[in-house]
Amino acid sequence: MRAALLWKAWLETKARFMSALGVLTILGISTVLRAPATIAGWESIHVNEQMSYPMYIWLSLSHGFLQFLWIVAVVILGLGGLLRERSIGSSSFTLSLPATRSAHVAARAAIGAAEAALLGFVPGLIVVALSPLEGLAYPIEQAMIFGALLVTAGFVFYGLAFFLSHLLHGEYTAPGLALGLIAVFYVLTKIPGFESLNVFDAMDGKLNLVGHTFFMGSSYPIATIAASLATALSFIALSAWRVRRVEF
């Protein structure tokens, strides 16, 4: 039955996941193809300065478009669940299956988390694979590290969206509120005294870059990652608690 629940969760999220995968694949490809022109343009403006390829990749992906698009993607992946099924009239069938409500929530959370994790690595791996076409190179270990930072430090946003989808009714209420709260949180982290909450800097490794290499070394934002994962798991646990108490 566990496999059946996982398969059901995959079928429910497949379209959203494939759409997000397509967008992030295009991002990875375009990042490589526009590298020479972008670097040349930057250096023509910043006279006597050079933009290294790792610097360009970090500014374009980890610190740029990837972070934003990945957050939007995981918020969308967090939607669904038994509360939405009740609104469309399919919850009776789902609850007739020989599985607890908590098992349904766990399966849905596991599939969404796996999809979110995969999306975090795709653009970087595309950069590694396609860079030689432009006569460039990017180390795979750095792509993996930055992918892991994005996913683990940003997992709290998936947890938030997942919880709101099990708390609120309406097709667009949960994602709209989730994105609004994330935007407010981003602004909050820019206020003096709240810098320690800046999970965004942990997602791109900004504070742990080695000199001007725009590579990661042996230092990582472990505390922020641990807090993000713990908060996300708490949101998922609250989702299960919420579903157990809803009358379907």
Q: What is the pLDDT of residues 137-173, one digit of tens each?
A: 999 999 999 999 999 999 999 999 999 998 887 677 8
**Measured distance between the N- and C-terminal CA atoms of the chain, rounded to whole angstroms:** 21
Average pLDDT over residues 181-201: 91
Average pLDDT over residues 226-235: 97
Q: What percent of the chain has pLDDT over 70?
A: 91
- Would you place residue 86 in the very low, low, confident or very high pLDDT band (cuts 50, 70, 90)? low
Burial of 139-161, coded b for 16+ CB within 10 Å and e otherwise, reads eeebbebbbbbbbbbbbbbbbbb
Residue 168: phi, psi to the nearest 5? -115, 150
Secondary element (H or E) of residue 75? helix 65-77
- Mean per-residue pLDDT of the chain: 91
pLDDT above 90 for 94: no
- Would you place residue 93 in the very low, low, confident or very high pLDDT band (cuts 50, 70, 90)? low
- Would you place residue 14 in the very low, low, confident or very high pLDDT band (cuts 50, 70, 90)? very high
Conformational region of residue 58, where left means phi above 0, alpha means psi within -120 to 50, and beta covers everything else: alpha
**Entry pTM:** 0.92
- What pLDDT score does 1 carry? 63
- What pLDDT score does 13 carry? 92
C-alpha distances (whole Å) from 96 to each of 4, 241, 248 are 13, 19, 11
- Would you place residue 97 in the very low, low, confident or very high pLDDT band (cuts 50, 70, 90)? low
Determine the structural domain holding residue 237 and report its residue range: 2-244
- What pLDDT score does 178 carry? 95
Count: domains in the chain: 1
Average pLDDT over residues 111-121: 97
Secondary element (H or E) of residue 228? helix 222-244
SS3 216: strand
- What pLDDT score does 221 carry? 96
Average pLDDT over residues 55-66: 96
pLDDT above 90 for 100: no
Average pLDDT over residues 174-182: 94
